[in-house]
Amino acid sequence: GVRKIIVIPNGVDLEKFTDAGGPTSRIGSPFVILSVGRLEKVKGHKYLVEAFAGIKKEIPNARLILVGDGSERDNLEKQADELGIGGATEFAGEILHDELPRWYHRADVFVMPSLSEGFGITAIEAMAAGVAIVATRAGSLPEIVRDGETGILVERGNAEQIYSAVLRIYRDETLRLRLAENGEREAQKFDWRNSATEVYKIYLSLV
């Protein structure tokens, strides 16, 4: 019976992440793929690890960094070893939130391979840090990442599409810079101050 619904998205403390590095040339240095999140099945990391096995063949100096911990860590480490990419895959474990900006700063591409997602806070953090994004069409991620404009969207549970999207960004520097710059601008919408202002306006309208 509710007739009027106002949606106010979660906010992010953008000052921590803005200008954390931004898009920079990685010539001569490792091409870093980053993912931040709990290592649980619902986060879909196994598809990212599978995709990375193919990416590594195309980009010999590529590295995959998984920030976070969870019940799937042992399985993911075993998968990486079996695929021959264990040495190029870093399991960073849990990281304090205040330390996350420097991890985003190391990345060329941020991948969010979730099978299900409520609200992709880490996607916004990566965008605010000026990192090109690949994300699945899960939950609210398509509301945050506009395909081809602020990132590249792929289907859930599809390692091949993750592989193709990352290689596309790697091979097209202009695209990578455009996605990063557009994403950084888009992230401004999710500043906590904007969310707080919208809540304040609603309370005022009810007085």
Question: Could you tell me the pLDDT band of residue 19, with boundaries at 50, 70 and 90?
Answer: low
State residue 158's pLDDT score: 97
Which has the minimum average pLDDT: 40-44, 76-80, 105-109, 162-166? Answer: 105-109
Q: What is the mean pLDDT of residues 52-65?
A: 96
Task: Give the count of beta carbons closer than 10 Å to the beta carbon of residue 23.
Answer: 19
List strands edge to edge, sheet with 132-136: 89-93, 62-67, 31-36, 109-112, 132-136, 152-154
In this prediction, residues 58-87 reach a mean pLDDT of 96
Three-state DSSP class for 68?
strand
Give me the chain's average pLDDT, please.
90
| CA–CA dist 53, 82 (Å, integer) | 10
Residue 169 has pLDDT above 60, yes or no: yes
Percentage of residues in the chain with pLDDT exceeding 90? 68
